[in-house]
Amino acid sequence: MALVLTEEQSMLRDSARGLISDKAPISHLRHLRDSKDPTGFSREFWHSFAEMGFAGLLVPEEFGGSGLGYVEAGIVMEEIGRTLMPSPFLATSVVAASALNRGGNAAQKSEYLPKISNGSLLATLAIDEGAKHRPLQTGLQAVRAGNGFKLSGAKALVVDGHVADLLIVAARTAGSAGEREGLTLFLVNPAAKGVAVERTIMVDAHNAARIELADVEVDADSVLGEVDQGAGLLDGVLDIGRGAVASEMVGLSEKVFNRTVEYLKSRKQFGKLIGEFQALQHRAAELYVDIEITRAATMKALQALDADVTKAAAAIAVAKARAGTTATRAVQEGVQMHGGMGMTDQFDIGFFMKRARVCEELFGDANYHTEQLARARGY
């Protein structure tokens, strides 16, 4: 398949870009942050997003969704990255929808997927426990109790955790930390007894939460997929999330880069436009090439997901690793080339730097994914 957008995909990009840049420019994020908005995103805008078919973009049509693929989800994520819009799209429409669609039984799918599609249900995956993303290190305990399970443990960096109506919790039903066997995903109602959700105000002013579960009782119907065999489902769902975050980082990188290049063409020092200085020109050119290469690697990874989620791991590792290093470079050059202005809160560049740092940690940083590739290649 060609690594260029089809006509339909270009139209999707244009409509997403039009909607997002019009309704949620960076000032939207700034307003949510400064007003200490309790929701952390605009519910009103989320409903218009749902009406456009974006909330259920990955959901099959039989469950009220648009039935589109991961390339299309990446297109929307990239546009989100361009304005840093806080949105439930990643946690609910990409990650949770994929988990439910890939792992859910008929009853679970028909209960939750239509609500995701119409924008009435927010859901999120609770995976990380330590400071770094290490899915196999999952230690949150789920022990059999009566007809169901009792869950105890803590999760961090749960995106949209404080507004979610449904938690998808990765837990250990057997084995010990580090093992693939014995992982199970559970659907947990955040209002259930024993669930404590603490919203964590993060550096990027996007939603995240720490969640503690103390003897939370769930019935057998709340298992998503198979008991003890959750690692395979989790691999696919995380890879889908990684592809989406890589796309967000491509959009973010390109936007911060474009703003920086415009600045090089307008700022004068020593009687010259600073963009005339070769020291800056070559760094800008290198960064441009980095972004183009990362964009291609990300498209390749999304196409690999569309072809077969279970065979996309290497392409996803490449894309997420590249997206991390590229975005980091883009935001650092953005601040440096803007000079003192780049350090001010009034200027938007800092928002990009902060969001890039969070995206880098989400679902594994560049080191994590580079390591995964080395292992896959047997050295």
Partner 1 sequence: MSDKASDAETADLEQFRNETRAWLEANCPPEMRKPATSDADVFWGGRNTKFASEPQRIWFERMRDKGWTVPDWPREYGGGGLSAAEHKVLRAEMAKIGARPPLSSFGIWMLGPALLKYGNEAQKKEHLPKIAAGLIRWCQGYSEPNAGSDLASLQTRAESDGDDFVITGSKIWTSYANYADWIFCLVRTDPSAKKHDGISFILFDMTSKGVSTKPILLISGYSPFCETFFDGVRVPKSHVVGTVNRGWDVAKYLLQHERAMISGMGERGVGRPLGQIAADSVGTDALGRLDDVMLRGRIASFDVDEAALAACAERAVDLAKAGQAHPAFSSAMKYYGTELNKRRYEILMSAGGVDALEWESERSRQGARPRAWLRTKANSIEGGTTEVMLGIVAKRILDLPGA
67 binds partner 1 (CB under 8 A): no
107 binds partner 1 (CB under 8 A): no
Count of residues that interact with partner 1, criterion CB under 8 A:
43
357 binds partner 1 (CB under 8 A): no
Q: How far is the CB of 324 from partner 1 (least distance, A)?
A: 10
311 binds partner 1 (CB under 8 A): no
Q: How far is the CB of 282 from partner 1 (least distance, A)?
A: 4
Left if phi > 0, otherwise alpha if psi is -120 to 50, otherwise beta: which for 67?
A: left
Going by the DSSP 8-state scheme, the letter that residue 62 receives in this structure is G
Closest CA to 133 of 167, 156, 159: 156
Q: How far apart are CA 127 and CA 184, in angstroms?
A: 11
132 binds partner 1 (CB under 8 A): no
Q: How far is the CB of 119 from partner 1 (least distance, A)?
A: 26
Residue 21's H or E segment, with its range, is helix 7-23
Q: How far is the CB of 366 from partner 1 (least distance, A)?
A: 8
327 binds partner 1 (CB under 8 A): no
371 binds partner 1 (CB under 8 A): yes
What would the x/- binding string for partner 1 be over residues 266 to 305, using CB under 8 A?
------xx-xx-x--xx-xxx-xx--xxxxxx-xx-----
Q: Kindly give, in sequence order, each residue whose CB lies less than 8 Å from that of residue 264, ignoring residues fewer than 6 positions away.
A: 273, 274, 275, 280, 284, 337
Please state whether beta strands 272-273 and 209-219 pair in parallel, antiparallel, or not at all (unpaired): unpaired
Which H, E and C letters describe 94-127, residue by residue? Answer: HHHHHHHHHHCCHHHHHHHHHHHHCCCCCEEEEC
310 binds partner 1 (CB under 8 A): no
322 binds partner 1 (CB under 8 A): yes
346 binds partner 1 (CB under 8 A): no
Structure tokens at 265: 């063409």
11 binds partner 1 (CB under 8 A): no
Q: How far is the CB of 255 from partner 1 (least distance, A)?
A: 15
136 binds partner 1 (CB under 8 A): no
Amino acid 78 reads E
366-374 long-range contacts (CB < 8 A, ≥24 apart) are 366/320, 366/321, 366/322, 366/324, 366/325, 366/328, 368/132, 368/133, 369/242, 369/316, 369/317, 369/318, 369/320, 369/321, 369/324, 370/317, 370/321, 372/313, 372/317, 373/314, 373/317, 373/318, 373/321
Q: How far is the CB of 4 from partner 1 (least distance, A)?
A: 5
Q: How far is the CB of 368 from partner 1 (least distance, A)?
A: 11
Dihedral of CA atoms 240, 308, 140, 90 in degrees, nearest 10, equals: 20
Q: Which of 31, 43, 132, 265 binds partner 1 (CB under 8 A)?
A: 265
317 binds partner 1 (CB under 8 A): yes
Q: How far is the CB of 300 from partner 1 (least distance, A)?
A: 4
**Residues found near partner 1 in the complex (CB under 8 A):** 2-4, 6, 8, 261, 264-265, 272-273, 275-276, 278, 281-282, 284-286, 288-289, 292-297, 299-300, 314-315, 317-319, 321-322, 369-371, 373-374, 377-379
